Amino acid sequence: MAGRRFSLLRLFRRKKEEESPGAAPAQQPEEVQQVQPPQEDAGQERTEEQLRARGRFRRAAQTFMKFMGSRRRKARITPADVQAQPDTIPTQLTKPDVSTASTAVPAKCDTATSDLTTHWDTTSTDDVSHCDSVLPGLTEEADATTTEGVASTDAAPVQRLADTPSLEFLEERAVSAEVAITPDGDMQQRPPTVPKLAWVKEEEKEESPRAAPTQQPEEVQQVQPPQEDAGQERTEEQLRARGRFRRAAQLVCRFIRCIWHEEATFMATGDTVNLDLFNAQTSAALLDMLVENGVYKAKQVPAIVRCIHQWLTSNVSDEHRLDKTLVLLTEEHPMDVAVTLLRSAPACNRAARTMWKTLISSRWTKEPVLQILFRVLEYWPAHRRRTSDGDERDVFALAATVALWEILQLSHSWCPGGVKDNFPRLLLTLLFQVFISTEEMSEEVETFWRRCREQRSLPPNPNRFAVQTVKALLRQLLGEDVLMVIGRKCGWDMLLKADSHHYAVGLLARELCRVSHSFCRSIAISLLPRLSRGEPLWELPALAFLVEVLHCLNPRQCGPSVLQIISRHLRSQCPERRRLALRGLVVLSRDPAMAKSMRSLSESLLELLQDADTDTVQMTLSAFINMLHFQIVIISTPTALKLLEALRPLFDNEHSQLQQLSMLLFWELMEATERSKSLKPHVYLSLVPFYFNWHNENQRVAEASWRALFGAARFLKWRDLEDLVTMEQPWRFPECLLEKDRSRVGQYVRQALPFLESPEKPLRKLAIKFLGIAARSMKQEQPELQLICQALQDMTDDSPAVSNLAQETLHIIRAVRRTSFFPFW
């Protein structure tokens, strides 16, 4: 009965419209005025309508994507089954008048949708297949469904529409996209009992009025529950869902064509396609739908990334609209997203900054994106990386530097965990960029940087920007104090000069050690592989950093590799590298295990004792002393002989530090060397210098001389000499020495003569006394006696105390010699 009333009501309405065709348009304005209350703010009303339209569009797009997934799982209905089912769609309804329908979608979206609707009516199966080639998983379903829809549009059953949407209606004639997208507008123009339709087939107007009532009661009784308006409402919802689905399918297909066209255009010309064909909300919704449902090919990822960047560039107020889409895309294709973003926005404009911040803020994309960024940073000047669309253009390391700087600026109140974990790697890479961009600048790097400066305000030179990035990194992790200390010591200025760059790196390493040993330890461990590979370009600054942080390392773990690096640089032709290697060797030699391993470097160290550079000789002496101090290393006799010969000139060196270290090394050598007759002559010749330096005004030199003299007496097994040194009776030393070894008196005299010209007055007096004692034990014919007399006679210009002592000693010598020549007198 309910179905009969429904059919009669529909037939009555049709007859009424045929009798008075102009009645409806005359009453529509009144209905609109009665239903809609007066609005105070028209702009606010439009905004709410746009939001509702946007929500309806998104739900329709989601319905479309769900349909494509369900089509894979459900079996397709054959044409015979479709024709056998009764048609429950009312065919006698009049097409609504849409002349005054309100629009809730912006103008661009309306125009685009109307064009799409008209275009779809004339689209062939080949066009759909072409679109499906860009839409994975859509080819077979869309082709078959579209062709079936054209053949069986009139027989589409209600039951299948209720369960699974179909593409059969995509070939139907639509009224207007404006009315279709805003289906609520035409409800105000019809009586409340007339179902609201978005479109009606053109052929339904020409059907006879008797055809519909003959079958509709049975269909309603079979399908719908026995309620008066239940079937009518369900049919209305099906038609409205079908219309939204159709329009969503049209927009999706055309948007995918646009993405495909953007990819092809970019690969051919390098230009991007303007997405103004769709308005902001429509294009963003379509991008969301494509990525969330995975309706894209891997080779289209770079094109989608460029579209997202273009959308964010054009839409300033809604910059976080596509955050979820970008994160989902990056989770699946991190390399393509990061590399494409570096290529598309190397200067990192506002839209690129928003995208980087989104990727770094997500815990799912932060780590892979940072690792890709760090990898690009390490390849200077550019890194060749192939994306899924076949693009093999270089990605400049400076583009990654700009992106990293922006990330550090965006996270001023927090430091990304990936940045903190990779701090050693980042710091070393940025310091290398500072050095290489200062040392040499290729033409391609200059061109790239000039283009970046045209897009935004950047420093004139890349090395200055790299220094800014280093400061930002240190500020994030260590605070502002480190930056201020380095600035006060002119470290940042030295960092920008090629000849002082390694000094600045060493200064930075010392300040880092003062703040955090753990950071320095991790940096040193990161440096070892680079120095082991022997990269000559940044080897000197890297070695300077390593030497400063060696004390933070465990020598037993890293010692062998460090020792290998240092041994290579000991033979370098660069004086600065040799000095740095010796500094590192001094640090390593303080460990007993490393001191034993350094025995193989004895020959190289002996050669460096002959170097003219005072610092080099000083560090070599220190390394030898540390090696022998633990008494683990036994020096062979040939090596000991070479070492004694190299040390002898240093006992009288004008630098007190060299004097002290050389005497300490002699003492250590006496303790670590087996007694051998071949060594005794060299030990004898060392006694006189030790005796004079025992009276040195420099207390450290005097103490070192006392130790060396004691070690020599023990080595020679001179008990008397050892006792007077122990009891500290220096005045007895000349007589004891000259009495025990009369054969070398001439050599001892020649060693004492230079001390007559010593700048220290006590040493000049001591030399005069020593020569007077030696002259008494010399023979008349010895030439050294004449040398003594001549030297004492020439000291008349010295101070009165010294000159008087010299004259008295000369008078005594002459008197003694006369007595010895005429013994009977």
Average pLDDT over residues 760-774: 91
Average pLDDT over residues 196-224: 39
Confidence of residue 555 (pLDDT cuts 50, 70, 90): confident
Q: Which residues contact 496 (CB under 8 A, 6 or more apart)?
A: 434, 438, 463, 464, 467
Average pLDDT over residues 227-247: 67
In this predicted structure, what is the pLDDT of residue 28? 41
Alpha helices in 182-333 (DSSP H): 211-223, 230-269, 280-292, 301-314, 323-332
Range scoring the smallest mean pLDDT among 31-40, 130-139, 811-820: 130-139
The structure tokens listed for 767 are 């030399």
Residue 394: phi, psi to the nearest 5? Answer: -70, 145
Name the nearest CA neighbour of 736 among 774, 696, 784, 790: 774
Q: What is the pLDDT of residues 99-120, one digit of tens each?
A: 333 333 333 333 333 333 333 3
Q: Are 63 and 241 in contact, with CB atoms under 8 Å apart?
A: yes
Choose the most confident range, by mean pLDDT, from 212-216, 275-279, 291-295, 328-332: 328-332
Q: Are 296 and 259 in contact, with CB atoms under 8 Å apart?
A: yes
Confidence of residue 813 (pLDDT cuts 50, 70, 90): confident
Q: Count the Cβ atoms, other than its own, within 10 Å of residue 775.
A: 24
Q: Is the dihedral of CA 606, 607, 612, 614 positive or negative?
A: negative
Average pLDDT over residues 520-535: 88
Stronger pLDDT, 380 or 2, i.e. the higher one: 380
Q: What is the pLDDT of residues 303-320, one digit of tens each?
A: 999 999 999 999 888 888
Alpha helices in 396-440 (DSSP H): 397-410, 417-421, 423-439
Q: What is the pLDDT of residues 120-179, one digit of tens each?
A: 333 333 333 333 333 333 333 333 333 333 333 333 333 332 333 333 323 333 333 333
pTM for the full model? 0.65
In this predicted structure, what is the pLDDT of residue 287? 82
- The answer on pLDDT for 230 being more than 60 is no
In this predicted structure, what is the pLDDT of residue 402? 96
Confidence of residue 31 (pLDDT cuts 50, 70, 90): very low
Confidence of residue 43 (pLDDT cuts 50, 70, 90): very low
Quote the mean pLDDT of the chain. 74
Q: Are 714 and 671 in contact, with CB atoms under 8 Å apart?
A: no
Range scoring the smallest mean pLDDT among 281-295, 323-337, 347-361: 281-295
Average pLDDT over residues 537-553: 92
Name the nearest CA neighbour of 94 among 14, 171, 35, 156: 14
The structure tokens listed for 431 are 């310091």
Count of residues making up the chain? 825
In this predicted structure, what is the pLDDT of residue 657? 94
Name the nearest CA neighbour of 28 among 96, 127, 129, 125: 96
Q: Is 395 helix (H, G, I), strand (E, B) or coil?
A: strand
In this predicted structure, what is the pLDDT of residue 616? 94
- H-helix or E-strand containing 601? none
Q: Are 408 and 507 in contact, with CB atoms under 8 Å apart?
A: no
In this predicted structure, what is the pLDDT of residue 56? 65
In this predicted structure, what is the pLDDT of residue 776? 82
Q: What is the pLDDT of residues 624-640, one digit of tens each?
A: 999 888 877 778 889 99
- The answer on pLDDT for 302 being more than 90 is yes
Residue 381: cis peptide before it, omega within 30 degrees of 0: yes
In this predicted structure, what is the pLDDT of residue 767? 93
The structure tokens listed for 198 are 């978005």
Confidence of residue 254 (pLDDT cuts 50, 70, 90): low
Alpha helices in 589-718 (DSSP H): 592-597, 602-608, 614-629, 637-647, 656-672, 680-684, 687-693, 699-716
Average pLDDT over residues 702-726: 91
In this predicted structure, what is the pLDDT of residue 535? 75
Average pLDDT over residues 65-82: 45
Average pLDDT over residues 43-48: 52
Percent of the chain beyond pLDDT 70?
65
In this predicted structure, what is the pLDDT of residue 62? 67
In this predicted structure, what is the pLDDT of residue 448? 95
Average pLDDT over residues 678-683: 90
Q: Is 759 helix (H, G, I), strand (E, B) or coil?
A: coil
The rounded distance, in Å, linking the Cα atoms of 633 and 653 is: 27
- The answer on pLDDT for 96 being more than 50 is no
- The answer on pLDDT for 214 being more than 90 is no
Average pLDDT over residues 218-246: 59
- The answer on pLDDT for 822 being more than 50 is no
- The answer on pLDDT for 577 being more than 90 is yes
- The answer on pLDDT for 363 being more than 60 is yes
Report the amino acid identity of residue 568. Answer: R
Range scoring the smallest mean pLDDT among 254-268, 431-445, 762-776: 254-268
User: Which residue is it, tokens 């700009």?
Assistant: 402
Name the nearest CA neighbour of 599 among 672, 549, 670: 672
List the Cα angle 250/256/257 in 5-degree steps: 90
- The answer on pLDDT for 37 being more than 70 is no
Choose the most confident range, by mean pLDDT, from 25-39, 190-204, 598-612: 598-612
Average pLDDT over residues 324-329: 94
Range scoring the smallest mean pLDDT among 182-186, 356-360, 559-563, 643-647: 182-186
In this predicted structure, what is the pLDDT of residue 150? 34
In this predicted structure, what is the pLDDT of residue 677? 84
Confidence of residue 525 (pLDDT cuts 50, 70, 90): very high
In this predicted structure, what is the pLDDT of residue 630? 81
In this predicted structure, what is the pLDDT of residue 339? 96
The rounded distance, in Å, linking the Cα atoms of 767 and 758 is: 9
Choose the most confident range, by mean pLDDT, from 140-149, 440-449, 779-788: 440-449
Percent of the chain beyond pLDDT 90?
40
Report the amino acid identity of residue 201. Answer: K
In this predicted structure, what is the pLDDT of residue 413? 55
The structure tokens listed for 367 are 């780590």
Stronger pLDDT, 244 or 609, i.e. the higher one: 609
- The answer on pLDDT for 228 being more than 60 is no
Strand pairing class (382-384; 394-396):
antiparallel
The rounded distance, in Å, linking the Cα atoms of 564 and 546 is: 13
Q: Are 700 and 660 in contact, with CB atoms under 8 Å apart?
A: yes
Average pLDDT over residues 182-202: 38
